Amino acid sequence: MNALFASHPHDGPDGGDSATQLGHLVTGELDLSHGVALYLEDITVSFDGFKALNNLNLAIDAGELRCIIGPNGAGKTTMMDVITGKTRPDSGKAFFGQTIDLTRLTEPEIAHVGIGRKFQKPTIFEQHTAFENLELAMKTDKRVWKSLLAWLSGDDRDRIADTLKLIRLDGEADRPAGLLSHGQKQWLEIGMLLMQEPKLLLLDEPVAGMTDDETMRTAELFVSLAGKHSLVVVEHDMAFVEKLGGKVTVLHEGSVLAEGDLATVQNDQRVIEVYLGR
Amino acid sequence: MKKTLFSLLLSVFCLGALAAPDPALVRQLAADDNSDKIAAIQQLAAAAEPGTATLLQAMADDSLFVAGDRLFVFTGDGHVDALSGAPAELPEGADSVTVNNRLRGELANALAALKLFDADRAVRLAAARELQSQVGAELAGVLAKARDQESDGEIRPLLALAHAQATLQDADPAVRLAAVRTLADAASPAVKSLLLPLTDASRESDRAVRDAAVLALKSIERSLAWMDTLAGIFSGLSLGSILLLAALGLAITYGVMGIINMAHGELLMIGAYSAYAMQSLFRAYFPDHVDWYLPAAIPVAFFAAAAVGVLMERTVIRWLYGRTLETLLATWGLSLILIQAARVLFGAQNVEVANPSWMSGGVELLPNLILPWNRVIIIGFALFVLFLVWVLMNKTRLGMFVRAVTQNRAMAGCVGVPTARIDTMAFALGAGIAGLGGVALSQISNVGPDMGQGYIVDSFMVVVVGGVGQLAGAVWAALGLGIFSKLLEGWAGAVIAKIMILVAIIIFIQKRPQGIFALKGRFADQ
Amino acid sequence: MSATSSVLPLPASGRVPLTLRVFAALDRKAWIALAVFLALALVVVPVLNLALPPESVFHVSAYAITLIGKIMCYALVAVAMDLIWGYGGILSLGHGLFFALGGYAFGMYLMRQIGRDGSYGADLPDFMVFLDWKELPWFWLGSDSFGWAAFLVVALPAVVAFVFGYFAFRSRIKGVYFSIITQALTYAAMLLFFRNETGFGGNNGFTDFKRILGYPITAPETRLVLFGLTAIALAATLVFAAWLVKSKFGRVLTAIRDAESRVMFIGYNPLWYKLTIWVISAVLCGIAGALYVPQVGIINPSEMSAANSIEIAIWVAVGGRGTLIGPVIGAFTVNLAKSWFTVSFPEYWLFFLGLLFIVVTLLLPQGLVGLWKKLMARKGAPA
The amino acid at residue A20 is T
Going by DSSP bridges, is the β-strand pair A65-69/A230-234 parallel, antiparallel, or unpaired? parallel
- Distance linking the first and last C-alpha atoms of chain B: 111
Name every chain C residue with its beta carbon within 8 A of the beta carbon of B453: 306-307
- Percentage of residues of chain A with pLDDT beyond 90: 8
d(CA B502, CA B359): 32
- For residues A194-208, average pLDDT: 88
The predicted structure's pLDDT at residue B281: 93
Q: Does B518 touch chain C (CB under 8 A)?
A: no
pLDDT beyond 90 at C150 = yes
Whether C188 sits inside 8 A of B502 (CB atoms) is yes
Size of interface A-C (CB pairs under 8 A): 99
Backbone dihedral angles phi then psi of residue C89, each to the nearest 5 degrees: 70, 15
Half-sphere exposure of B344 (CA within 13 A, CB side): 12
Q: Look at residue B476 in the predicted model and tell me its pLDDT.
A: 84
pLDDT per residue as tens digits for the range A34-59 = 778 888 989 999 887 788 888 889 99
The whole-number average pLDDT for the span B181-188 is 76
What is the domain partition of chain C in residue ranges? 67-311
Q: Which of A109, A136, A154 faces C266 most closely, judged by CB atoms?
A: A136
d(CA B173, CA C185): 61
The whole-angstrom distance between residue A137's C-alpha and the CA centroid of its chain comes to 13
CA distance B334 to chain C (A): 6
The predicted pLDDT at position B525 comes to 39
Dihedral in degrees, nearest 10, Cα atoms B353, B358, B361, B367? -150
- Residue B88 has what pLDDT? 79
Q: Which chain C residues are closer than 8 Å to B262 by Cβ?
A: 310
Mutate to test the interface with B, among C192, C321, C361 (most CBs of B within 10 A): C361
**For residue C293, what are the contacts with CB-CB under 8 A and spacing of at least 6?**
C103, C106, C107, C110, C206, C209, C299
pLDDT, tens only, A100-142: 888 888 888 998 888 999 888 888 899 999 999 999 988 888 8
For an interface test with A, which of B522, B523, B526 has the most A Cβ atoms less than 10 Å from its Cβ? B522
Write down the pLDDT at residue B269: 94
Contact A127, A161 (CB under 8 A): no
A72 part of contact set with chain B, CB < 8 Å: no
Residue C172 at interface with chain A, using a CB cutoff of 8 Å = no
- Has residue C376 got a pLDDT over 50? yes
pLDDT at C82: 96
Q: Of C124, C151, C99, C145, nearest to C304 (Cα)?
A: C99
More confident residue, B437 or B513: B437
Q: Could you tell me which residue, C195 or B486, shows the higher pLDDT?
A: C195
Per residue in C291-308, pLDDT (tens digit) is 999 999 999 999 999 889
Contact C258 A126 (CB under 8 A): yes
Phi, psi values for residue B464, rounded to 5°:
-65, -45
A49 at the B interface (CB within 8 A)?
A: no
Q: What is the pLDDT of residues C3-33, one digit of tens each?
A: 344 455 566 555 677 788 888 888 888 899 9
**Number of residues in chain B:** 526
pLDDT at residue C257 above 70? yes
Q: Which of B262, B319, B464 sits opposite C362 (nearest CB)?
A: B319
Look at residue B339 and tell me whether its pLDDT is greater than 90.
yes
Percentage of residues of chain B with pLDDT beyond 90: 15
Rounded mean pLDDT of A188-192?
90
How much is the pLDDT for B8?
47
Closest alpha carbon within chain A to C248: A147
The 3-class SS string of B456-507 reads HHHHHHHHHHHCCCCHHHHHHHHHHHHHHHHHHHHHHCHHHHHHHHHHHHHH
Cβ atoms within 10 A of the Cβ of B208, count? 13
Cβ distance B373 to B358 under 8 Å?
yes
Helix (H) or strand (E) holding A44: strand A36-47
Extents of the domains making up chain B: 23-222, 248-452
- Per residue in C209-241, pLDDT (tens digit) is 988 988 898 898 999 999 999 999 999 999 999
pLDDT band of residue B330 (cuts 50, 70, 90) is very high
Confidence of residue B63 (pLDDT cuts 50, 70, 90): confident
Q: List the single best residue of C2, C256, C262, C280 to mutate versus A (max A Cβ within 10 A).
A: C262
Task: Determine the distance in angstroms separating the CA of B520 from the nearest CA of chain A, rounded to an integer.
Answer: 6
Question: Predicted confidence band at B521 (pLDDT cuts at 50, 70, 90)?
Answer: very low
Residues with Cβ within 8 Å of B520's Cβ and at least 6 positions away in sequence, in order, are A47, A48
Amino acid identity, position C313:
A
Q: Which residues of C touch A117 (CB under 8 A)?
A: 265
Residue among C279, C252, C247, C254 at smallest CA distance from C267: C252
What backbone phi and psi angles, to 5 degrees, belong to A6? -65, 155
Please, which residues 191-230 of chain C have a Cβ atom closer than 8 Å to chain B? 191-192, 194-195
Cα separation, B458 vs C187, whole angstroms: 10
Q: In this predicted structure, what is the pLDDT of residue C10?
A: 61
| C313: chain B residues, CB-CB within 8 Å | 329
Inspect the interface and report whether the beta carbons of A50 and B521 lie closer than 8 Å. Answer: yes
Q: For position A155, what pLDDT does the model report?
A: 85
As a whole number of angstroms, the distance between CA C107 and CA C156 comes to 13
Q: Which of A127, A137, A153 is opposite residue C258, by nearest beta carbon?
A: A127
> Residue A50: its chain B contacts at CB < 8 A?
521
Element (H, E) at C92: none
Q: Which pLDDT score, from 0 to 100, does residue A277 have?
A: 47
Q: How far apart are the first and last CA of chain A?
A: 34
- Give the length of chain A: 278
- Highest mean pLDDT out of B128-137, B339-348, C281-290: C281-290
- Residues B20-48, buried b or exposed e (16+ Cβ, 10 A)? bbbeebbbbbbeeeeeebbbbbbbbbbeb
Distance CA B182, CA B167 (A): 11
- Chain A and chain B share a number of CB contacts under 8 A equal to 10
Measure A27 CA to nearest chain B CA, in Å: 26
Q: How many CA atoms lie within 13 A of B345 on its CB side?
A: 14
Q: Would you say C265 and C256 are in contact if contact means Cβ atoms under 8 Å apart?
A: no
User: Phi and psi dihedrals of B96, rounded to 5?
Assistant: -75, 145
- pLDDT band for position A4 (50/70/90)? very low
pLDDT of residue B93: 75
CB-CB neighbours of C163 under 10 Å? 10
| Amino acid B215: pLDDT | 84
CA B45 to each of CA A266, B83, B167: distance values in angstroms, whole numbers, following the listed order? 106, 16, 16
pLDDT at B111 over 50: yes
> What was the pLDDT predicted at C279?
97
What mean pLDDT, rounded, does chain B reach?
80
Q: Which chains touch C (3 or more CB pairs under 8 A)?
A: A, B
Q: Tell me what percent of the residues of chain B surpass a pLDDT of 70.
A: 92
Kindly report the nearest CA distance between residue B380 and chain C, in angstroms: 29
Higher pLDDT, B256 or B311: B311
Q: What are the tens digits of pLDDT across the range A54-102?
A: 888 999 988 889 999 888 778 888 899 999 988 889 988 898 988 888 8
Which pLDDT tens digit goes with each residue over A221-238? 888 888 888 999 998 888
Q: Residue A162, Cβ neighbours under 10 Å: how many?
A: 18
Q: In Å, how far are A256, B113, B276, B514, C151 from A47, measured between CA atoms?
A: 19, 70, 50, 14, 50
What one-letter code names the amino acid at C380?
A: G
pLDDT in tens, C306-332: 889 999 999 999 999 989 999 999 999
Residue C53 C-alpha, separation from nearest chain B C-alpha, in angstroms: 41
Q: Can you tell me whether residue B72 is helix, strand or coil? A: strand
Question: What percent of chain C stands above pLDDT 70?
Answer: 95
Name the nearest CA neighbour of A235 among A260, A257, A210: A210
Q: Which H helix or E strand runs over A221?
A: helix A212-225
Element (H, E) at A66: strand A65-69
Q: How much is the average pLDDT of B139-151?
A: 78
For the segment B394-432, what is each residue's pLDDT rounded down to a tens digit? 888 888 888 788 777 778 888 888 888 888 988 999 999
Contact B520 A47 (CB under 8 A): yes
Please provide residue A129's backbone torsions phi and psi, each rounded to the nearest 5 degrees.
Answer: -75, 165
**pLDDT, tens only, B221-241:** 888 888 878 887 888 888 888
Among A194-208, C90-104, C160-174, C192-206, the range with the most confident prediction by mean pLDDT is C90-104
Q: Are B515 and B467 in contact (CB under 8 A)?
A: yes
Q: What is the pLDDT of residue A8?
A: 40
Mean pLDDT of A184-200: 89
pLDDT, position A29:
65
Distance between CA atoms of residues A25 and C149, nearest Å = 37
- Touching chains, B (3+ CB pairs < 8 A): A, C
User: Is C173's Cβ below 8 Å from some Cβ in B?
Assistant: yes
B332, B339, B499 ranked by CB distance to C191: nearest = B499
Nearest to A232 by CA among A192, A199, A263, A197: A199
Which residue does chain A place closest to B521, by CA atoms?
Answer: A47
Name the residue in chain B with its Cα closest to that of A48.
B520
How many Cβ atoms are within 10 Å of C338's Cβ, its own excluded?
15
A78 touches chain B (CB under 8 A): yes
Residue of C4, C20, C248 best to disrupt the A interface, most CBs of A under 10 A: C248
**Chain mean pLDDT for chain C:** 89
List the single residue in A with minimal CA-CA distance to C262: A123
Nearest to C350 among B324, B340, B460 (CB): B340
Residue A158 pLDDT greater than 50, yes or no:
yes
CA-to-CA dists, residue C360 to B333, C183, C325, C335, angstroms:
10, 22, 17, 16
Interface contact flag, C13 A157, Cβ < 8 Å = yes
* Averaged pLDDT score across all residues of chain A: 81
pLDDT at C357 over 70: yes
- C-alpha B103/C-alpha B109 separation (Å) is 10
Instruction: Give CATH for domain A2-29+61-77+106-275.
Output: 3.40.50.300
Alpha carbons B346 and B277: distance in angstroms, whole number: 10
| C361 touching chain B per CB within 8 A | yes
Contact indicator for C366, C318 with CB cutoff of 8 Å: no
Q: Per-residue pLDDT for A255 more than 70?
A: yes
Which residue of A lies nearest to C4 if distances are taken between CA atoms? A174
Q: What pLDDT was estimated at residue C33?
A: 92
CA Rg, chain C, in Å? 22
Which range is least confidently modeled, B364-373, B502-511, C113-122, C256-265? B364-373
Mutate to test the interface with B, among C176, C271, C309, C342 (most CBs of B within 10 A): C176
Dihedral (Cα; C166, C171, C174, C180), 10-degree rounding: -80
Cβ <8 Å between C267 and A112: yes
CA distance C308 to C328: 17
Nearest to C180 among B330, B460, B510 (CB): B460
Query: A22 and A108 in contact (C-beta within 8 Å)?
Result: yes
Q: Which pLDDT does position B302 carry in this prediction?
A: 95
Q: What is the pLDDT of residue B11?
A: 44
pLDDT > 80? residue C136 = yes
Tell me the CA end-to-end span of chain C in Å, nearest whole number: 31
Chain B, 441 to 470: residues with Cβ < 8 Å from chain C are 453, 456-457, 460-461, 464
